[in-house]
Structure 1
Amino acid sequence: MKNLFIVVLFIIIPFAGLCQNLSPKYEFRGVWIATVENIDWPSKPGLPVTEQREEIIDILDMHQKNGMNAIILQIRPASDAFYQSDLEPWSKYLTGYPGRSPNPFYDPLEFWIDECHKHGMEFHAWLNPYRVAQNYEDPLAGNHIAFEHPNWILKYGERLYFDPGLPETRNFVTKVVTDIVSRYDVDAIHFDDYFYPYPLQEEFPDTASFKKYNRAWPDKYKADWRRENIDILIRQLSTSIKKTKPWVKFGISPFGVWRNKSDDPKGSDTRAGATNFDHLYANVIKWQEKGWIDYLLPQLYWQIGHSSVDFELLANWWKNHSYDREMYIGHGVYKIDPESNIKEWTMPDELPKQIETLRAIPEIGGSAFYSSKHFNRDLLGLQDSLQNRINNTPAIIPPMPWINNIIPSSPEKFRKSGKKIKWKVIETNEGKNKPVKFVIYMNEDGKDSNPQQLFSICLDEKFKFKRINKKRKKYEVRITALDRLNNESKPTNPVIIKL
């Protein structure tokens, strides 16, 4: 196996890996990093390259300390690129001017992916499919596709969008995604809630594309035609992603309400002003049920007990629509504020209670936090709670057996030398079953081992322990291997170490 320098993915406090109040063994723990308008990174357009890289490392160090295992980075906020592309121009949010490359040159996407993997985190590449510009008066790069195909572009409110009704725009978005998957070592492709835009007072101006490409839908069923446009895109993307790299996941993070029960008996008992199905034309649970996507991550950015869109009620509604795929939940950490006029967001226990609520629902496999920059401020002690209680042991992102359920071979030649352990991997493991991480389990000698009791996760084929007790004790240590889809090998036989 390719040598990697030792990286201990989680700093374990004394006895954290051996305590009784363990966090789950399998759990998605993600963070969104938005680049549009420089929300999270880089801190400003045109930031020097050295500072961009420093910010990346600082962000990853912070989230690693908080126990996170996935980064969701926005790499295409508005038909632009945070990576080297022949299809779309460099983003103005990166360099300060649309189409301008970093100077000195580097590929931010490649750097993010490498550093995420070194930190033991998955990298989910977040794209917005149809947004072209935040403001129609904003200059576009001279090589932007909008100049070559102006008929693809629609103005709605102050923004510009690709017309979702055109096969050409669907094919272009698919080409962009396929290019990323083929050239970069991403773990997942991720879309959020933006398909058709949130409605304004004016009608979305797609009359021409409906007339030309209505596929025999009558005028009164135009909403169904719009939903079918997005269905076609999602199915097309799913096919292309899996054909290019079968192990790359495809996830969607929709708005938190599919439909209100007042509009559909299958909907949630909520009173949301907008919904995925009726306003964004995104029938997200259909995509999950059809197996076109690998996970849903609905954005439940409301508090427990909200009168119209209650967090707990919605979590229990979404759990019934996992359809044997993964279901995660999004938290709105940006709402935590001691000065908030909503009492729950002034309380230190609101987010911990939300996480505890989700952990009690077997169909929900984890959560993600919007957004990264808020972890740099006072979140009423949330960071301490994550480090010392909520995420006090590392977690494995849940495997996806419908993609691949073959377990990798167990590590071999497992041995100790003082406080160090070493092992080897079988070189016949290739592709998606090749071990990429290793799980360390530890229990006191003579006591039963607990397969839920992770001590640490590491990248290299060696690990050095720190002393745990003033009075040394004997511990049994076992190792397993994880492939890139988190299928876990059988454990090695134990070695005994005094710590």
Structure 2
Amino acid sequence: MIKHFTLLIFSILFFSIGICGQASLQPPATEVRAVWLATNWSLDWPSADMSIDQQKKEMRRKLDALQRANFNTVLFQTRIRGDVFYRSAIEPVSPFFRSSYINSFDPLAFVIEECHRRGMECHAWFVTFPVGSKKQVERMKKTSVVSKNKGICKLHKGEWYLDPGNPEARKYILSLVSEIVSGYDIDGIHFDYIRYPENAKTFPDNDTYKKYGKGMSLDDWRRSNINTLVTDIYKSVKKKKKWVQVSSSPLGRYRPLPVKPNDGWTAYADVFQDAGHWLRSGAHDAIFPMMYYKEELFYPFLEDWMEQAAGRLIVPGLGAYMMNEPERNWSLQNILDQVDYARQKQTAGQAFYRTETILSDSKDILTTLSRHYYQYPAKLPPLTWLSTTRPAPPKNLEVFKTRNGTTCLQWEAADSDDEQLSYTVYRSFADRANTENSESIVITGLRQNKIFLCVENTDVGIYYSVTASDRFHNESEPCVSAFYVHSTFER
């Protein structure tokens, strides 16, 4: 049974509600707002030489900042290059996380729990084929997959990779995926580098090709290898937990287009990622293409991704890090124009690489997003190809003032045994809230059935209502509204 909880972030989280605030352009009520949170080289987390408590505090601060800015999805780097950020029976703990900590602190479990407490989803970001440089593999010694099973690995340009054409290598990847999906309450698993490496023309897989090529051209066989893995992953994940989303971040340009007919760096032709096929064949729930380009390398290629969607989610990955001077020193406007264009084309949302660029407020990106683009919370898009069944609405909504002057909302689930529900709270001047109006949303993704609000006493009457959503993001009808006048006088 779901208990009555207060929403905890520091001690109790209080939301400040401004009824009259208006944005110049109202954002959609439903969209993905994601960040990649990198653990490789401790790029985003954890900082070096921290105790467990310090690491936890650092992560909570980052998630608090993302939650305040109304982000709703964290892509947390869980597998790096043959090493991991969770308790694994298969691969060693990353050197960027102290192995001595792992028995008392599981970083993946911690981040999932903290994301859920803040109404955000956590997707396990999984680097697929790379398993480390020669030096990294040597440092890992007997714990590396290269040492344990060298026959499923290939050395290419000084880097080790699992061989996509080797069925045993694909089985190895599936074992890791199964370990994560079965062992953790993730909302999605997100594949990076699910492709052949750069300079793939010289990838040393002639022996594998001769053994398994079956008369296909080398290019078609390589694409088939990736397609087979993607399909097997999707089937495996859905068999275990149907609601866990399967996504990936392919190269930002799917195929050459007339505007760039000689493009030498596309997913389909150069690294054998046929992500359009993954969508059309129903083996993916979402694509987060890494669109770290400007202008003619961004806009037409985003349109091409939308043509490939086949009813699934397209979430362009935006290169916020390109605003940094060591990179390309882009202006903030470059990124904002891409957000505007993505919304105009009705993509499922946006993802930003990477967290530190956002939270450091580089060129005022966090300030601008939170004030003008993400000023209201956003629900996540429903996964209607997985389920269309809507939960029953909550019941018995109550609104009352507490002794310390805060406003408490509490309600009951229609099905008291369903612990997979989350809630969205709406406020409105009308008896029935418009659930498609982002300004009406107070909070979404709430996994408790009680919340405290800090609301100015204006003698204004407000209707509150609550909806329930399942793990597929199917949303119920609003419950019966509760009317409340925020006043200093007792009623």
Question: Deviation digits for residues 259-315 of structure 1, max 9, x if unmatched?
Answer: 1136xxxxx746533111111111010000100010111111112x24xx1x22222
1:465, distance to aligned residue in structure 2 (A): 2.7
Other-structure match for 1:195: 195
- AA aligned to 1:375 is I
- AA aligned to 2:462 is Y
Is 1:385 paired with 2:368?
yes
1:339, distance to aligned residue in structure 2 (A): 8.5
Q: Out of 22, 25, 32, which is 2:29 matched to?
A: 25
Give 1:274-423 correspondences, 5 Å limit. 274-303=265-294, 305-306=295-296, 309=297, 311-337=298-324, 345-346=330-331, 348-362=332-346, 364-418=347-401, 419-423=407-411
Q: Out of 462, 471, 487, which is 2:450 matched to?
A: 462
Mark the CA change 1:19 to 1:162 in structure 2 (over 3 Å): closer, same or farther: closer
2:142 aligned counterpart, secondary structure? coil
Q: Is contact 1:15-1:468 (8 Å) kept?
A: no
Other-structure match for 1:49: 52
Other-structure match for 1:233: 229
Mark the CA change 1:260 to 1:118 in structure 2 (over 3 Å): closer, same or farther: same
- Aligned residue pairs, count: 473
1:380 aligned counterpart, secondary structure? helix
2:310 aligned counterpart, secondary structure? coil
Mark the CA change 1:183 to 1:448 in structure 2 (over 3 Å): closer, same or farther: closer
How high is the TM-score relative to the length of structure 2?
0.90
Mark the CA change 1:438 to 1:140 in structure 2 (over 3 Å): closer, same or farther: same
Q: Is contact 1:17-1:393 (8 Å) kept?
A: no
1:134, distance to aligned residue in structure 2 (A): 3.1
Other-structure match for 2:97: 94
Q: Give distance in 1, aligned partners of 2:435 and 2:301.
A: 33
Q: Give distance in 2, aligned partners of 1:17 and 1:245.
A: 40
1:479, distance to aligned residue in structure 2 (A): 1.1
Q: Give distance in 1, aligned partners of 2:334 and 2:187.
A: 31
Q: Give distance in 1, aligned partners of 2:154 and 2:135.
A: 10
1:47, distance to aligned residue in structure 2 (A): 3.6
- AA aligned to 1:356 is D
- AA aligned to 1:381 is D
Mark the CA change 1:429 to 1:208 in structure 2 (over 3 Å): closer, same or farther: same
1:93, distance to aligned residue in structure 2 (A): 1.9
Question: Deviation digits for residues 314-359 of structure 1, max 9, x if unmatched?
Answer: 22221111101111111101011479766xx13x322222111111
Q: Give distance in 2, aligned partners of 1:375 and 1:325.
A: 27
Other-structure match for 2:255: 259
Q: Is contact 1:399-1:487 (8 Å) kept?
A: yes
Q: Is contact 1:10-1:456 (8 Å) kept?
A: no
Mark the CA change 1:47 to 1:7 in structure 2 (over 3 Å): closer, same or farther: closer
Question: Deviation digits for residues 185-220 of structure 1, max 9, x if unmatched?
Answer: 0111101244211117x7111111112222232xxx
Q: Give distance in 2, aligned partners of 1:43 and 1:386.
A: 26
1:455, distance to aligned residue in structure 2 (A): 2.3
Mark the CA change 1:23 to 1:7 in structure 2 (over 3 Å): closer, same or farther: farther
- AA aligned to 1:25 is A
Q: Is contact 1:196-1:280 (8 Å) kept?
A: yes
- AA aligned to 2:280 is E
Q: Is contact 1:445-1:474 (8 Å) kept?
A: no
- AA aligned to 2:466 is I
1:142 aligned counterpart, secondary structure? helix
1:483, distance to aligned residue in structure 2 (A): 1.4
1:367, distance to aligned residue in structure 2 (A): 0.8
2:76 aligned counterpart, secondary structure? strand
Mark the CA change 1:21 to 1:466 in structure 2 (over 3 Å): closer, same or farther: farther
Q: Give distance in 2, aligned partners of 1:87 and 1:280.
A: 27
Is 1:62 paired with 2:65?
yes
Q: Give distance in 2, aligned partners of 1:322 and 1:297.
A: 11
1:31, distance to aligned residue in structure 2 (A): 0.3
Other-structure match for 1:265: none
Q: Give distance in 1, aligned partners of 2:264 and 2:35.
A: 26
Unpaired runs of 5+ in structure 1?
A: 263-267
Q: Give distance in 2, aligned partners of 1:341 and 1:215.
A: 44
Q: Give distance in 2, aligned partners of 1:312 and 1:334.
A: 19
1:143, distance to aligned residue in structure 2 (A): 3.1
Q: Is contact 2:16-2:455 (8 Å) kept?
A: no
Unpaired runs of 5+ in structure 2?
A: 402-406, 487-491
1:446, distance to aligned residue in structure 2 (A): 7.4
Mark the CA change 1:485 to 1:279 in structure 2 (over 3 Å): closer, same or farther: same
1:22, distance to aligned residue in structure 2 (A): 2.9
Other-structure match for 1:444: 429
1:448, distance to aligned residue in structure 2 (A): 7.6
Q: Give distance in 2, aligned partners of 1:369 and 1:484.
A: 23
Mark the CA change 1:90 to 1:103 in structure 2 (over 3 Å): closer, same or farther: closer
1:383 aligned counterpart, secondary structure? helix
Q: Give distance in 2, aligned partners of 1:443 and 1:215.
A: 63
- AA aligned to 2:447 is L
Other-structure match for 1:223: 219
1:148, distance to aligned residue in structure 2 (A): 2.5
Is 1:39 paired with 2:43?
yes
